[in-house]
Structure 1
Amino acid sequence: MSYVDGFVAAVPTANKEKYIKHASDAAVVFKEHGVLQMVECWGDDVPEGEVTSFPMAVKCKPDETVVFAWLFWPSKEVRDQAMPRIMEDPRLHPDVNPMPFDGKRLIYGGFSVVVDA
């Protein structure tokens, strides 16, 4: 069964091109380790909520943009086997590919696919 890792982050709007390069470089590594698809989305219609919202969840500041991303894996098993190797890959080391956003406000999680229509 397919598996998805999902991410939401607040990225300084001025760092959009840096973020795209960061994600593109990371995509090469993830695909080498079994990711079938990596999608990175730059928010352009992400409303503030009154109770909850993407901006509230990541404590998005006025000069930041919400990013929504996901990795599509063939299975949780493939993902679980690949993740330790991915995290050790020197191409993802912060000195080589620094995160152009505050990683402390990154929200992520793994999800089993229950509907794929």
Structure 2
Amino acid sequence: MAYIDGFVIAVPTANKQAFIDHANKVDVLFKELGATRIIECWGDDVPNGKLTDFRRAVQAKDDETVAFSWIEWPDKATRDAAMGRIEELMKTDERFSPENNPMPFDGKRMIFGGFAPVVEV
């Protein structure tokens, strides 16, 4: 069964194209490592909640937009193997190099996790 990695980040709104460019470089590498599908979404209708919301989750500022992304893997083993290679590739593959492809957002405020699907319609 598939395995999903989900991500929520706050991106400076002025960095939208830089976010897209960054994702286009990095996402190809995830595909090479076995991902079957990658979706990068730019916040369009992200309401403020009364108790919690996406903006609060990533401490988004007024000049930032929330982005939501996910990576679909064929299974958890493929995902775990790929993630095990990421650190090595950050040193050897220019697409992952922070010098050649810097993150256009504050990675310290990213929330992420791996999820095992339980219902698929």
TM-score range, shorter chain: over 0.9
| Aligned-residue identity in percent | 58
Pairing partner for 1:92 from 89, 96, 120:
96
Mapping 1:19-58, distance limit 5 Å: 19-58=19-58
Letter in 2 for 1:93: S
Q: What SS does the corresponding residue of 1:92 show, helix, strand or coil?
A: coil
Question: Counterpart of 1:3?
Answer: 3
Query: Could you list the runs of 4 or more consecutive aligned residues of structure 1 that deviate by over 3 angstroms after TM superposition?
Result: none
User: Which residue does the alignment assign to 2:18?
Assistant: 18
**Normalising to structure 1: TM-score of the pair?**
0.97
What is the alpha-carbon distance in structure 2 between the residues aligned to residue 34 and residue 86 of structure 1?
A: 12
Q: CA deviation at 1:72?
A: 0.2
Q: TM-score, normalised by structure 2?
A: 0.94
Deviation per CA, 1:4-55, whole angstroms, max 9, x where unpaired?
Answer: 0000000000000000000110111000000000000000100011100000
Residue 113 of structure 2 corresponds to residue 114 of structure 1: no
Could you say what secondary structure the match of 2:99 adopts?
Answer: coil
How many residues matched?
117
The yes-or-no answer on 1:104 pairing with 2:117 is no
Q: Which runs of 5 or more structure 1 residues have no equivalent in the other structure?
A: none
Give the C-alpha shift of residue 86 in structure 1: 2.7
Q: C-alpha distance in 1, partners of 2:33/2:86?
A: 7
